Amino acid sequence: MGKEDLILQMFKVAEKKAFQLLYDTYYETLVLFANQVTGDSQAAEEIVQDCLVKFWISKRYRTLESGLDKYMFQAVKFSSLNYVRGDKRKKILHDHVIRETMFGDEEVEDENVEILEVVYKVIDLLPEDRRYLFLLVFVEGMSYQEVADQLQISKNTVKTQLSRSLKFLRETLKDRYNAFLLFFILEK
């Protein structure tokens, strides 16, 4: 029995000990891997910690028969790539805000910020699972397939949940904010 099989078996008996073994076995290697992708050692540590904790909390070990190595490296890879995408988006958004602030009309910028706040408040009204899925696709920039792989659901489920989320947002935001919602989504 290999170490990954031992870890999966231990989760069925003693979760805390299994998590400690999982952490001891994978942490350093996964941090090095994440650091190669992100180029940021602190972010790499946070990404790996999040992936390990999500694996435990979501109880993925119950459905994972084998392939723990593959699963952990894929989870860290997707999270690292999302971090890199998000970091680029933040830089682009920051540059845009700076340009608007320095050269744009302040009243228009204030109104856009208010509209964005309204959109995010409505997004927060979505059920937790749908909100998480929506943010992964439209804020983190993940593809439907990446989200499906990460959450271990079908691509069609991702599409269906996003469709329901968008319908809710359109109905809730009404006409005034729908154009801004469309812009927000197309920024992806």
Q: Which CATH architecture has domain 105-188?
A: Orthogonal Bundle (1.10)
Mean pLDDT of 63-92: 75
Question: What's the angle, vertex CA 79, arms to CA 96 and CA 143, rounded to 5?
Answer: 70
- Nearest to residue 19, comparing CAs of 42, 49, 40? 49
CA–CA separation, 113 vs 20, rounded Å?
A: 44
Assigned token pair, 156:
């069609």
pLDDT above 90 covers a percentage of the chain that reads: 3
More confident residue, 170 or 156: 156
Per-residue model confidence (pLDDT) at position 41:
85
Domain boundaries, the chain: 1-80, 105-188
Per-residue model confidence (pLDDT) at position 185:
55
Mean pLDDT of 136-156: 85
More confident residue, 92 or 130: 130
If one counts every other C-beta atom within 10 angstroms of the C-beta of residue 150, the result is: 18
Residue 174 pLDDT > 70 = yes
Assigned token pair, 92:
């682009």
Instruction: Give the predicted TM-score (pTM) of the model.
Output: 0.47
Residues contacting 161, CB < 8 A, separation 6+: 129, 130, 133, 134
CA–CA separation, 29 vs 84, rounded Å?
A: 19
Residues contacting 5, CB < 8 A, separation 6+: 66, 68
In order of 5, 18, 119, 127, the CA distances from 168 in angstroms are: 43, 41, 12, 11
In order of 4, 62, 66, 73, 117, the CA distances from 12 in angstroms are: 13, 8, 14, 22, 44
Each residue of 7-61: pLDDT tens digit? 777 777 777 888 888 788 888 888 888 888 888 888 889 999 888 888 878 777 6
Per-residue model confidence (pLDDT) at position 167:
85
The answer to whether 83 and 38 have CB atoms below 8 angstroms apart is: yes
